[in-house]
Structure 1
Amino acid sequence: MVIQATTRVESLSTSGIHQIPKEYIRPQEELRSITNIFDEEANKQKPQVPTVDLTDIESDDPEKRHKCLEELKKAAMEWGVMHVVNHGVSGDLIGRVKAAGEGFFGLPVEEKEKYGNDPDGGRTQGYGSKLANNASGQLEWEDYFFHLVFPEEKRDLTIWPTTPSDYTDATTEYAKQLRALATKILPALSLGLGLEEGRLEKEVGGIEELILQLKINYYPKCPQPELALGVEAHTDVSALTFILHNMVPGLQLFYDGQWVSAQCVPDSIILHIGDALEILSNGEYKSILHRGLVNKEKVRISWAVFCEPPKEKIVLKPLPETVSEAEPPLFPPRTFRQHMEHKLFRKNKDEVMQN
Structure 2
Amino acid sequence: MDKLLSSRFNHESLSGDYIFPPELRPGDLKIPFGSNISVIDLSEAENGDRTNTIQKIIKASEEFGFFQVINHGISENVMNEARSVFKELFEMPAEEKQKLCSDDPSKTCKMFTSSVNYATEKVHLWRDNFRHPCHPLEQWQHLWPENPTRYRECVGSFSVEVKKLASRILSLISEGLGLECGYFENDLTGSVLLTINHYPPCPEPSLALGITKHSDPNLITILLQDHVCGLQVLKDGNWIAVQPIPNAFVINVGYQLQVISNGKLISAEHRAVTNSHDTRTSAAFFVAPTDECVVEPAEALTDEHHPPIFKAFKYKDFNSHYFAKYADTETVLKSFAAQKG
Same topology, TM > 0.5: yes
Secondary structure of the residue that 1:218 maps to in structure 2?
strand
Partner of 2:107: 123
Contact 1:132/1:139 (<8 A) preserved: no
Contact 2:226/2:244 (<8 A) preserved: no
Partner of 1:50: 38
1:1-355 equivalences in 2 (<5 Å): 4=1, 7-12=3-8, 14-18=9-13, 20-31=14-25, 33-36=26-29, 39-40=30-31, 43=32, 46-59=34-47, 61=48, 64-120=49-105, 122-129=106-113, 130-132=115-117, 137-158=122-143, 160-202=144-186, 204-205=188-189, 210-312=190-292, 314-347=293-326
User: Bigger CA drift: 127-136 or 298-307?
Assistant: 127-136
Residues 89 and 156 of structure 1, relative CA distance in 2, 3 Å threshold: closer
Residues 134 and 195 of structure 1, relative CA distance in 2, 3 Å threshold: farther
- The answer to which structure has the higher helix fraction is 1
Amino acid at match of 2:253: I
- Runs of 4+ more than 4 Å apart: 133-136
- Cα distance in 2 for partners of 1:276, 1:119 equals 27
Normalization by structure 2: what TM-score?
Answer: 0.89
Residues 124 and 117 of structure 1, relative CA distance in 2, 3 Å threshold: farther
Residues 264 and 180 of structure 1, relative CA distance in 2, 3 Å threshold: same
- Cα distance in 2 for partners of 1:155, 1:247 equals 29
TM-aligned CA deviation for residue 178 of structure 1: 1.2
TM-aligned CA deviation for residue 118 of structure 1: 2.2
- Cα distance in 1 for partners of 2:215, 2:328 equals 17
- Cα distance in 1 for partners of 2:120, 2:145 equals 33
Q: Deviations over 1:284-343 (max 9, x none)?
A: 11111110000111011001111111011x211111222234433222221111111111
Task: Give aligned pairs, total.
Answer: 328
- Cα distance in 2 for partners of 1:348, 1:56 equals 36
Contact 1:104/1:161 (<8 A) preserved: no
Contact 2:6/2:91 (<8 A) preserved: no
Residues 265 and 335 of structure 1, relative CA distance in 2, 3 Å threshold: same
Normalization by structure 1: what TM-score?
Answer: 0.86
- Cα distance in 2 for partners of 1:211, 1:343 equals 17
- Cα distance in 2 for partners of 1:134, 1:49 equals 37
Structure 2, unpaired ranges of 5+: 330-341
Residues 246 and 195 of structure 1, relative CA distance in 2, 3 Å threshold: same
Contact 2:7/2:93 (<8 A) preserved: no
TM-aligned CA deviation for residue 16 of structure 1: 4.1
Q: Deviations over 1:164-202 (max 9, x none)?
A: 322111111111111111221111111111112211334
Contact 1:243/1:302 (<8 A) preserved: yes
